[in-house]
Chain A
Amino acid sequence: MATIIKSYEPTFWDKIYIPALVKGLMVTLRHFFKRKITIQYPDEKHIPPEGYRGLHRLNKYPNDRIKCVACEMCSAACPVDCIHIVPGPSPWEGDKERYPVRFDIDLLRCIFCGFCEMACPEEAIELTEIYDFSNYTRESLLIDKEGLLEVYELTKDRNFYSRVKSKESQS
């Protein structure tokens, strides 16, 4: 048996709508004098907070050796299987013996959950603050090792958007 619940009975004042309209406009008016949150994207970029999970990067040591040892913990932890690694013996002498020959991430598959950076024992893979990497083709959203290292160069000071902004203001 369905239960009939008495819904709200509109009163006369509700029916003429004017008080509701005034009430809504009051909210608009209040915000009119507040600090503006809207930014002029894409001319002005939003700077994400610390810990934002955007585009991936692969970190490097100061001597240019890639931190990744191709242990494939990230691809094992990945819930959508978007990381593909081909390991190989490292070409650097007397260093960690393993490195990724190929390191591909399918950004279309990636759900940016951040499990990969949590699983990484070498702190090699990290998610950066870059969020605007949309593109026209599917192929250009498969990022390889070189691409990920390039992202590292762009973001190693963790100021990707602020740097872009300051550059623009200089020119």
Chain B
Amino acid sequence: MPLLKIDSLEIEVEKGTTVLQAAMVNGIEIPYYCYHPALEIVGSCRMCLVEVEGMPKLQVSCNTFVGEAPPERKIEGKYDMVVNTHNDLVIQERKNVLEFLLLNHPLDCPVCDQAGECYLQDYSFKFGNAHSRFDEDKRVRPNEYLGSQIVINHNRCILCSRCIRFTREISGTSELFVEARGNKSKIAALEDKPLDNLLAGNVADICPVGALLSTDYIHKNRIWNLKKQPSVCQDCSVGCNVDVFYQKDKILRLTPRENHDVNGYFMCDIGRYGFHRFEDLDRITTPMARSNGSFSAVSWDEAIRKTADKLGDEGAKIAGIVSPFHTNETNFMLGQIINGPTGTLPQMNDEEIIYQSGFRISNDRSPNRRGMSDVCPALLEDLVSEIDNQDVRMIYVLDDGIDREIDDVWKKILAKMDFVVVQTYAMTTLAQSANIILPGPAPYEREGTITNDGGRVQWLRPSLPMKGESRADWEILMMVMKALDKDAQDFTDIGQVMKDMGEKFPAYDGLSFFRLGPHGMSLNGRANG
């Protein structure tokens, strides 16, 4: 393997690694704008210039590959390549490059939404000059819409072409291109084909400056006010890793989090803007009981007592409706309570989309169908006839909060029921027909594990606080369980539920949040008993 020397560090690298990659892996900082690990290398920003000994000029480190030199040409007898990243020449060159990049940049950081996570800001501060020698007028252009969700501020653009390469290589839709040449060049979308694909939101993320902006987040907040929580997207069964940016009890935006086993570097717009549907919901924040056709708020003790009174009847059969929107732990707990048939609500199906790069949006728009069927193996397709057969009169529903029409099948089921318990967070049509409503957390308030369709268990972390009196799903189910059976196991936190689940379902054995970590763990190769 070639021996590379960067500054004073000797590194042995694979043949064909770029100098930039080798430096990044070994903790040497080389600034860059146009390089992105998922995209093709163009070397257009010139920010990553380094000095390579034996080469006449400075080289772009993102496009300089390390190769093996013949023995007689090795430097100092052993190095295949010697790179300087911090000598005076390179430092001066960085200053010059930044001065060029900032020629037409408006320096409107106070109103720019990228400020705080802007590479131009960071590198100017770290490597740049305090002053520019350019005293002509700056080039000023109006903002333009590239698509319905993406605005471009041409003044801020440094033409790194990350967005163009993204549409060509990842989404494969090629809407963007550089229009005109030289000083007049700018990023533009094809006239008849605006940037409206379902991955368009990613260009705002990968833009190293504040040129590409998502209309959803523009002028909403400043980045340093937001808290970041790593979580998992809950809008399809792929389970993209996301970072949730929130302030107090409001989510401001989602951005993709790198996970090469799931989503790579990107996420789709369905998930990106999906959190909005939980914002203006008719939230249920207290337990409610129905008496004479109307709901009234009751205390937790009373709600649980009423539930247990009914469900605890001698010889009563209880049907359970588990949900692919809930965590494994919640579904598992419900499976422990019920003694009748188990079913689930109708699947929300949509089109499956696979992009050129392999990025997939699943047709199943629920995050945890795989996990649900893992921990509730006796799931029935035809719930109605089984309910008829066993003469079930009670049902416990984990509602997913989606306000769907009640179809004929469900009308039949509900007509048969004497007692309906719905655990939900929103007043859906289904919840309207309940006898007892137990308020649980909404997505992004939940904690637990979910299993994506590829069999990867991921840690779903809560970002927002729970509303009102609502309690965690597993806690509600545990209270019901304790009320039904005094000797039931007492869980004090979700980790114990997980442990118990592992004992019953060996595929989930030995799971803990610590083991799952930020990137989850694959179930493949583990037998489910």
Residues of A at the B interface (CB closer than 8 Å) are 69-73, 76, 87-89, 96-98, 121-122
Contacts and interface: CB of A to CB of B under 8 A. Distances in A.
B218 interface: yes
B111 A69 contact: yes
Nearest to B221: A87
B222 interface: yes
A97 B222 contact: no
Given A87-B220, A88-B219, A89-B218, A97 B111 contact: yes
B524 interface: no
Contacts of B225: 72
B261 to A, nearest CB: 37
Contacts of A96: 111
B525 interface: no
Interface in B301-341: none
Interface string B63-91: 00000000000000000000000000000
A168 B115 CA distance: 50
B222 A98 contact: no
B328 to A, nearest CB: 39
B218 A73 contact: no
* Dominant secondary structure of chain B at its interface with chain A: loop
B222 A71 contact: yes
A73 B110 contact: yes
Contacts of B110: 69, 71, 73, 121-122
Contacts of A121: 110
Interface of B: 109-111, 115, 143, 218-222, 224-225
A73 B220 CA distance: 15
27 contacts: A69-B110, A69-B111, A70-B111, A70-B219, A71-B109, A71-B110, A71-B111, A71-B222, A72-B222, A72-B225, A73-B110, A76-B222, A76-B224, A87-B219, A87-B220, A87-B221, A87-B222, A88-B219, A89-B218, A89-B219, A96-B111, A97-B111, A97-B219, A98-B111, A98-B219, A121-B110, A122-B110
Contacts of B115: 71
A164 B222 CA distance: 40
Nearest to B215: A89
Max count, chain A CB within 10 A of own CB: residue among B111, B115, B222: B111
In the complex, which of the residues B110, B115, B221, B224 has the most CB atoms of chain A within 10 Å of its own CB atom?
B110
A64 B325 CA distance: 51
Residue from B219, B221, B222 having most chain A Cβ neighbours under 10 A: B219
Given A70-B219, A88-B219, A89-B218, 20 more contacts: A69-B111, A70-B111, A71-B109, A71-B110, A71-B111, A71-B115, A71-B222, A72-B222, A72-B225, A76-B222, A76-B224, A87-B219, A89-B219, A96-B111, A97-B111, A97-B143, A97-B219, A98-B219, A121-B110, A122-B110
A84 to B, nearest CB: 10
Contacts of B143: 97
B124 to A, nearest CB: 16
Contacts of A89: 218-219
Contacts of A88: 219
A69 B113 CA distance: 12
B490 to A, nearest CB: 41
B258 to A, nearest CB: 28
Give me the 8 closest cross-chain CB pairs, A-B, nearest first.
A71-B110, A98-B111, A72-B222, A121-B110, A69-B111, A89-B219, A87-B219, A98-B219
Contacts of A87: 219-222
Nearest to A94: B142
A94 to B, nearest CB: 9
A15 B40 CA distance: 95
A122 B219 CA distance: 17
Contacts of B219: 70, 87-89, 97-98
A106 B222 CA distance: 20
Nearest to B110: A71
Nearest to A87: B219
A96 B112 CA distance: 11
A19 B220 CA distance: 72
A3 to B, nearest CB: 53
A161 B317 CA distance: 81
Contacts of B111: 69-71, 96-98
A66 to B, nearest CB: 13
Nearest to B111: A98
A96 B57 CA distance: 43
A122 B109 CA distance: 12
